[in-house]
């Protein structure tokens, strides 16, 4: 069966899962279907807002969501910008350790993933697929990955208004959680009188010191569980 037909069949199967039903979980269904047909153990779709804040649109599983959150927390790792003109980037465990040591350390501690590949998704951002095998990414059929990513981009572009900073899908749970990071950054900018990039660095440092994801730390700051003075430098 051609790869796109297999992908569409997997997408239908994903839609039968009660946890993945509903428009807000569309990107998670796409991620799950992509992981299934590409022989990966996890997958996630990310996009870049005009604010340059990376948004996690959806993940195939909680482990894939955890991997993305720790990558964002580390402030390093593969994303759409990593492709540098290519459409697919693969990273074995050895390459990951050399290129992104902090992110890789988190990945080893919090997930079973040991290698990955990043595929450009037209009009959206990137599809990241994860493998438990340290060299599993080398088994990825690059041609199939491109076709699946193109299909993912087509589905999302057809259902989302493109271009505005409110895109994509602010009602999605993962996007709402990530948007609180920008709110927390704004609070630190005002309190510490620094630029947004510096404030984000402070937030990441605070997360690292507490062994927590930036998303969750930002949530606590926005909700008042933590006070801004606890981030004084």
CB atoms within 10 A of CB 1: 9
Is residue 102 in a domain? yes
pLDDT at 164 over 50: no
Q: From 190, 176, 187, 179, select the one nearest 221 (Cα to Cα).
A: 187
- The per-residue pLDDT for 45 is 94
- Are 180 and 103 part of one and the same domain? no
- Are 41 and 149 part of one and the same domain? yes
Boundaries of domain holding 109: 3-159
If you average pLDDT over residues 71-86, what whole number do you get?
75
- Are 187 and 105 part of one and the same domain? no
**Mean pLDDT rounded to a whole number for the chain:** 89
Is residue 151 in a domain? yes
- The per-residue pLDDT for 56 is 87
CATH code of the domain containing 64: 3.30.450.40
Is residue 68 in a domain? yes
For the sheet containing 115-121, what is the strand order? 54-59, 42-48, 125-131, 115-121, 88-91
Is residue 105 in a domain? yes
If you average pLDDT over residues 167-172, what whole number do you get?
52
pLDDT at 34 over 90: yes
**Between 204 and 163, the higher pLDDT residue:** 204
- Are 36 and 128 part of one and the same domain? yes
- Are 150 and 184 part of one and the same domain? no
Q: Is the Cβ–Cβ distance between 104 and 97 less than 8 Å?
A: yes
- Are 11 and 72 part of one and the same domain? yes
- Are 187 and 88 part of one and the same domain? no
pTM attached to this predicted model: 0.85
Assign residue 45 a region (left: φ > 0; alpha: ψ between -120 and 50; beta: otherwise): beta
State the total domains in the chain: 2
Is residue 165 in a domain? no
- Are 147 and 183 part of one and the same domain? no
CATH code of the domain containing 193: 1.10.10
Separation between Cα atoms, residue 183 and residue 72, nearest integer Å:
16
- Are 180 and 153 part of one and the same domain? no
Q: What letter would DSSP give residue 125?
A: E
- Are 50 and 147 part of one and the same domain? yes
Q: Give the chain's radius of gyration (CA, Å).
A: 17
- Are 150 and 35 part of one and the same domain? yes
Tokens read off for 30? 């796409």
Q: Which residues pair with 89 in a beta bridge?
A: 118
């Amino acid at each position: 069966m051609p790869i796109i037909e297999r992908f569409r069949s997997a997408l239908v199967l994903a839609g039968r899962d009660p946890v993945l039903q509903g428009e807000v979980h569309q990107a998670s269904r796409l991620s799950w279907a992509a992981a299934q047909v590409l022989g990966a153990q996890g997958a996630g779709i990310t996009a870049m807002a005009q604010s340059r804040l990376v948004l996690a649109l959806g993940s195939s599983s909680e482990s894939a969501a955890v991997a993305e959150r720790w990558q964002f927390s580390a402030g390093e790792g593969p994303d759409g910008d990593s492709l540098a003109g290519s459409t697919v980037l693969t990273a074995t465990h050895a390459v990951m350790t050399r290129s992104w040591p902090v992110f890789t350390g988190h990945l080893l501690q919090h997930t079973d993933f040991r290698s990955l590949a990043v595929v450009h998704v037209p009009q959206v951002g990137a599809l990241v697929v994860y493998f438990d095998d340290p060299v599993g990414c080398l088994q990825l059929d690059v041609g199939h990955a491109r076709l699946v990513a193109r299909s993912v981009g087509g589905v999302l572009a057809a259902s989302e208004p493109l271009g505005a900073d409110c895109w994509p899908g602010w009602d999605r749970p993962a996007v709402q959680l990530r948007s609180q990071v920008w709110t927390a950054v704004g609070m630190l900018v005002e309190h510490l009188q620094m630029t947004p990039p510096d404030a984000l660095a402070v937030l990441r440092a605070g997360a690292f010191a507490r062994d927590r994801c930036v998303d969750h730390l930002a949530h606590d700051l926005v909700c008042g569980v933590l006070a801004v003075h606890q981030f004084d430098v």
